[in-house]
Amino acid sequence: MLTRTPIPSDDPARVNLLDPAVHRDHDLSALWRRLRAGAPVWRHPPAGTAPGFWVLSKHGDVMAAYRDAERFRSMSGNMLGTLTRGGDSAGGRMLVVTDGRRHTSLRRLMQTGFGPRVLGVVGDYVERATAGVVAAAVERGECDFAEDVASVIPLAAICELLDVPVADRPRILGLTRSALETEHGEQQSLESRLAQSEILLYYTRLAAERRDSPGADAVSLLATGLVEDRPLTAEEVVLNCYNLIIGGDETARLSMTTGLLALIEHEGEWDRLVSGEAGVPQAVEEILRWTTPAIHVGRVAATDVPIRGTTIPAGDIVTMWNVSANRDEDVFDRPDELILDRSPNRHITFGHGPHFCLGAHLAKVELRAMLTTLRESVAAVVPSGPVRWLSSNFLNGVESLPVVLKPKAREAA
């Protein structure tokens, strides 16, 4: 079976949005339609030891909350997993869980590492790496697209962005894949925890080297730059390096794999992509909307906030559900259909406002390279085994997709 089973929407309170298995096993489209129509500002009840939280499901409300960084704060965490357990220990030190002037200063520093010159070099590397990885998968015939293609390209791009020495990359890529294996899953294995520790130690050493001999890479920027007129601590440098690794991997990897599954399920759209009727740049945007790798983003209300006649009390957890906003009938025509040349396409897969994803452009470069390579070298994609969805209440996507990539016939000389 390729798709998840629909879940009944008659009583939203019966669906525990904190349960990773709910998102892994079920299609929640009907639930989101019901909430958007009847309870766009809904209070999710407490579950076990976790407190209740507010659920925003409409595109406009989610956009407004993203923009309002004064009343919706990130310091305590940006996902339910940390927010419901008392907060994020990296608050105030890692970009995504920092607010106010410190966030502005840290973001300004890190944005330099995503400038046109740097991304131009990384983009060229991504195109070459993607062509090689896909060619190897086509040569083998059968592969797990998630494991053999989609998990390789983003991490290779991040190594290039951070300027990890070429000799270290095979080891660092392996460690990173192990560390990310259960980053947002139900239980982190001992192997994953050890790999995470090794990565943090590696970047601690790399940052120390770059502080003495800096380059133009993101690690050097963090190691030598000033945030609010003071240098970052070694721990702050490493935390933000690790944040770049996680963020740079997840959106691209999950949108690649789940996007390919969508093209398998929508043969007509695959044909339009291959024929050129649907262009790659628009297809990238639609696949990002369709897959929505970050299911939700969390905040804490800094003051009482009225929304649609409901007042969210100060101190309450507020969640913005991208996966619902990206299917909002008031914004998207035929939102439950994959339309590769959809225009306009105001998806919020990368968030919005002050915390808009730094790596959005790089993720699009990676997805564009994958679609272009598939269109040019693959005639058909055939499922060859069971699809396994990720078990997470934060990340949405396929973690195993066995397929056969059938090559295009070579033209006669």
Over range 154-181, report the average pLDDT: 84
Q: Does residue 410 form part of some domain?
A: no
Q: Does residue 147 form part of some domain?
A: yes
| Structure token digits, residue 101 | 């002037």
- The pLDDT value recorded for residue 18 is 96
β-strand pairing of 296-301 with 72-73: antiparallel
- The pLDDT value recorded for residue 180 is 65
- The pLDDT value recorded for residue 1 is 43
Q: Does residue 89 form part of some domain?
A: yes
User: Cα angle at 236 between 230 and 239, to 5 degrees?
Assistant: 155
| Structure token digits, residue 248 | 């740079």
pLDDT(413) > 70? no
Cβ atoms < 10 Å from Cβ of 360? 16
Percent of the chain exceeding pLDDT 70 equals 96
Over range 70-87, report the average pLDDT: 95
Helix, strand, coil % in the chain, rounded to nearest 5: 50, 15, 35
- The pLDDT value recorded for residue 299 is 98
Q: Does residue 68 form part of some domain?
A: yes
Three-state SS at 172: helix
> Which of the listed ranges 109-123, 131-145, 240-254 does the model predict with the highest average pLDDT?
131-145
CA end-to-end span of the chain: 41
> What confidence category does residue 79 fall into, taking pLDDT thresholds of 50, 70 and 90?
very high
> What confidence category does residue 113 fall into, taking pLDDT thresholds of 50, 70 and 90?
confident
- The pLDDT value recorded for residue 185 is 47
Decide if 372 contacts 280 (C-beta within 8 A): yes
> What confidence category does residue 186 fall into, taking pLDDT thresholds of 50, 70 and 90?
very low
Over range 117-128, report the average pLDDT: 88
Q: What is the DSSP letter of 50?
A: B
Mean pLDDT of the chain: 92
Q: Does residue 404 form part of some domain?
A: no
pLDDT(361) > 80? yes
Decide if 58 contacts 330 (C-beta within 8 A): yes
Q: Does residue 283 form part of some domain?
A: yes
β-strand pairing of 398-400 with 226-227: unpaired
Q: Which residue has the tokens 């015939």?
A: 141
Q: Does residue 247 form part of some domain?
A: yes
Tally of structural domains, the chain: 1
**Domain coverage including residue 380:** 5-398
Decide if 83 contacts 76 (C-beta within 8 A): yes
Q: Does residue 412 form part of some domain?
A: no
- The pLDDT value recorded for residue 2 is 58
Decide if 396 contacts 259 (C-beta within 8 A): no
- The pLDDT value recorded for residue 170 is 85
pLDDT(179) > 80? no
CATH number for position 98 = 1.10.630.10
